[in-house]
Each structure stands twice: as C-alpha cells, then as structure tokens.
Amino acid sequence: MFEPPLLDLGYFQHGHTAVAGWLQRDALLLTLGLHRAQRAAGQGGAVAEIGVHHGKLFIALALLAAADEAALAVDIFERQELNPDGSGHGDRAAFEANLARWKLRRAVILARDSLTLTPAEVLGLVGRVRLFSVDGGHTRRHAGHDLALAEACLAPGGVVLLDDFFDPDWPGVTEAALLRLHAPDCTLAPLAVSGGKLFLVRRQDHAGWVAALAARVLPWAARARQVELAGWPCQVLGFTGLATLPAQIGTQGAQPAARVAFSLAGQDPPPGLLGAGWSGPEDWGRWSLGAEARLNLPLPPGPPPRRLLLHARGLVPPLSLGLLAGGVALPPLLLEQPDLASYAVALPPLPAGTTTLELVLRPASWASPAELGLSPDARPLGVGVAALALER
C-alpha cells in the first residue's frame, strides 16, 4: 500500500555522495531505519524539508515516499537576501537536476521564505507529514518558526529531523529547540540524536517509538547511549559498524537476510581468515599493508552467497577487490566511496563446488600516517577493514 515491493537503496549506499551538501551518514541511516519502523506500523504520510539546498537529504526522503505520498521542498534558493545567517546557499537548477537524475518528478517545490509559510498551507498542499526535515535558516527565529511549523503538520507516528542541533557554529538552532521543548504548549519530545540531527516525535507517540527503536534500530547501532533531554529519555546513536549497512536497515523484513559474518577486530579472527598483507589487530579491525592484502572466506552450506558486505575505511580510495573462487579469477569489483564506508556489492555467480572465496584487496595507493603528517606511524597503510559478511 505504501511503497513499491522493493526499495532501491542505491542512493543510500553511494548516490548521496554525488549531491552537494552536508549530510552525515549516521543521520541518513537512522532516517532509513525510522522509515522502516513507520512502514512496519502501517504509517503513511507525506515527506517534507525546509532548506533543501541541492537536495542531498530531500532526495532520500522523496525516494522513501510511495506513489500516493507527496514530497514538499521549501527553499529560498537564489534569494539569499532572505538568508540572514548565511546557512547554505540553495540552487534551484542544481536541485531540479538532481531530482531528475533520480527520476523524482512529483516534488512540490515552494521557492519562498519559510517564515511566510503556515500549517494550513502545508496541510492543504501535501497533508500530514510523517518525515519532516527542518534545515532552513539557522537563527533562533527561523529555526523556532520552522520547528513549530513541522510540529503542527506532523502525522501520527511522524518524525521531525532538526539539523545542526548542538552545533556550536549554529547556536540559534539549539536555543530554538530547547525553548520549544520547554514551552507549555509543546507537543514534541526528543527521541534520538545522531549525525548532527535531533529526531523528535509527538509526545503521545514517544513510548511507542522507544519500543520501536529498541526492536528495529538499536540492534544495528554500533554505539547507543541513553540520556535525558528536556525531561525525556533520548538515545544518542552512532552507526559505524558492519551492521549499519543501509541494505540491512532497509531490508523489507524485520530481520536481516541469512549471512555469515567475520570480524577483523580483536586478537582472534577465525583460523585461516587472514592471508598475507595485514597489520596487527586494533580495537576496530586491521589495516592492509602495501599493495594488497588477502582474506579467505569459507562459504556457508547451502546456496551460494549473492552479496558481499564490507565495512572499510581507507586513507586513499578507491579500492579494487579481486575475487578468486576455487582458484578461478572472477570479475573484480571497484569500490569508490571515500573515507568510512559500508558497501553492499553483488557477487558474480560462483563456480559449482566452491567452498572458499578469496578476496584480494588492492587500494589505489597507500601511505604511512607519518608521510601524511597524521602520526609517527611509518607503516604503509592501505585500507582498514572492520568486518565483512557473505549474504544469501
């Protein structure tokens, strides 16, 4: 009823990196997880964002919208005289080009100051909103108005995403949020902080959302700490491990697909897993040394795996991934996302009778932290691997 049978996760995995703007991966992944929880609860409604810039987050929201759900974009775009604090610089042509690239042609676009926008107008245009991003003007006045607007338009079970909460460069956002949360007529409560955003829900929905987080989101979190904010329990969440791959959070079912996972962290990886070219263990995983490093992954019984999940970080991307099955070379893969990255890549068909998949990781180049001025470490480090898995 609410979405196509299969959600295309390409934008969440890598596509967002090609759109100009500011969006931390943690916030993107949590948004995807909250969307899945809404769907599991039968929740529908429009999506909206104030302050779309070039569309980095808005595209993600619009991709999560079903055919019968509206997507509202509000931005002053080129009218920067209406942007007193200089937060962002929208570009309508770039925004619309990005929408077209992702085949999003149903967006309702308002080129105007959000201070002139009323709840009645929003409700008349798109109806109640289940995912409402507030990322417009960062003054106390603008952020306070936009937060109250989102609050008034929120659907039951909806979530408000407030950007740059606790960011010292934009104190007006935090001030506006705390003032609103302590206002006598406020109907919002903080649910989570992640990736520079504060996620808020209706107060009457808060207990249900806490339970939904525990069941559907916290199992994927690499870091979770409960704090109290404005008198409400609130989770501070980080998604930096293999289990945070968007393909997992976004899976159509509540449970991940059948997989066998391997961690490179700690002292005792499975026997035979590590081939040549690896550093000693670190708390998070291991670095490859020099031109290449090898891993030997035993295949689980049953049907051959269809995907490889890899959580890696590199000093110098991209990373070429060679594949050998039973000594037979398969077409290599090229992973191009920089910095800290979670990849979900389709595997080519494996020869019948294959029992072990050998991976050869070849970074485009490698360098020592000493050469880069990061530390005295003189080892030629290529790519850091925290964990990986094979998934049917």
Residue 167 pLDDT greater than 80, yes or no: yes
Residues 65 and 200 in one domain: yes
At residue 74, the pLDDT reads: 96
Please state the rounded mean pLDDT for residues 274-296.
89
At residue 34, the pLDDT reads: 93
Residues 83 and 42 in one domain: yes
Residues 211 and 303 in one domain: no
Residues 271 and 212 in one domain: no
Residue 195 or residue 87, greater confidence: 195
The amino acid sitting at 334 is L
- Of the pLDDT bands very low, low, confident and very high (cuts 50, 70, 90), residue 281 is confident
Q: Does residue 198 lie in a domain region?
A: yes
Average predicted confidence (pLDDT) for the chain: 84
Q: Which domain holds residue 386?
A: 259-391
Name beta bridge partners: 366: none
- Nearest-angstrom CA–CA distance, 16 and 60: 8
Q: Does residue 247 lie in a domain region?
A: no
- Nearest-angstrom CA–CA distance, 163 and 121: 23
Q: Does residue 250 lie in a domain region?
A: no
At residue 222, the pLDDT reads: 66
Residue 270 pLDDT greater than 80, yes or no: no
Please state the rounded mean pLDDT for residues 331-342.
65
Residue 8 or residue 322, greater confidence: 322
Count of domains forming the chain: 2
- Of the pLDDT bands very low, low, confident and very high (cuts 50, 70, 90), residue 261 is confident
Residues 78-98 pLDDT 10s: 776 555 675 667 789 999 999
Please state the rounded mean pLDDT for residues 202-231.
88
The amino acid sitting at 68 is D
Residue 159 pLDDT greater than 50, yes or no: yes
Q: Does residue 356 lie in a domain region?
A: yes
Residue 221 pLDDT greater than 60, yes or no: yes
Q: Does residue 5 lie in a domain region?
A: no
- Nearest-angstrom CA–CA distance, 61 and 65: 7
Please state the rounded mean pLDDT for residues 244-272.
59
Q: Which of 196, 215, 241 is the last residue of a domain?
A: 241
CATH code of residue 41 = 3.40.50.150
At residue 256, the pLDDT reads: 41
CATH code of residue 359 = 2.60.120
Please state the rounded mean pLDDT for residues 335-345.
61
Please state the rounded mean pLDDT for residues 174-199.
97
- CA distance from start to end of the chain: 27
Residues 229 and 340 in one domain: no
Residues 67 and 194 in one domain: yes
At residue 9, the pLDDT reads: 67
Residues 157 and 304 in one domain: no
Q: Which of 189, 212, 241 is the last residue of a domain?
A: 241
Phi, psi of 282, deg, nearest 5: -130, 170
Residues 292-304 pLDDT 10s: 999 999 887 788 8
Residues 29 and 175 in one domain: yes
At residue 210, the pLDDT reads: 95
Selection from 115, 170, 125 nearest residue 148 by Cα: 115
Residue 384 or residue 242, greater confidence: 384
Residue 14 burial by Cβ neighbours in a 10 Å radius (0-12, 13-18, 19+): middle
- Do 33 and 249 form a contact (C-beta atoms < 8 A)? yes
At residue 148, the pLDDT reads: 98
Q: Does residue 3 lie in a domain region?
A: no
- Of the pLDDT bands very low, low, confident and very high (cuts 50, 70, 90), residue 7 is low
Residues 158 and 274 in one domain: no
Residue 319 pLDDT greater than 90, yes or no: no
- Ranking 28-42, 198-212, 217-231, 234-248 by mean pLDDT, the lowest is 234-248
Sequence-distant (6+) residues with CB within 8 A of 362 are 291, 292, 319, 320, 321, 322
Residues 76 and 24 in one domain: yes
Q: Does residue 204 lie in a domain region?
A: yes
Helices 56-64 + 92-101 axis angle, to 10: 40
Residues 107 and 172 in one domain: yes
- Do 100 and 76 form a contact (C-beta atoms < 8 A)? no
Q: Does residue 383 lie in a domain region?
A: yes
Residue 4 or residue 79, greater confidence: 79
Please state the rounded mean pLDDT for residues 131-144.
94
- Of the pLDDT bands very low, low, confident and very high (cuts 50, 70, 90), residue 314 is low
Q: Which of 241, 272, 290 is the last residue of a domain?
A: 241
At residue 267, the pLDDT reads: 65
- Do 211 and 201 form a contact (C-beta atoms < 8 A)? no
Residues of the chain with pLDDT > 70, as a percent, come to: 84
Residues 229 and 169 in one domain: yes
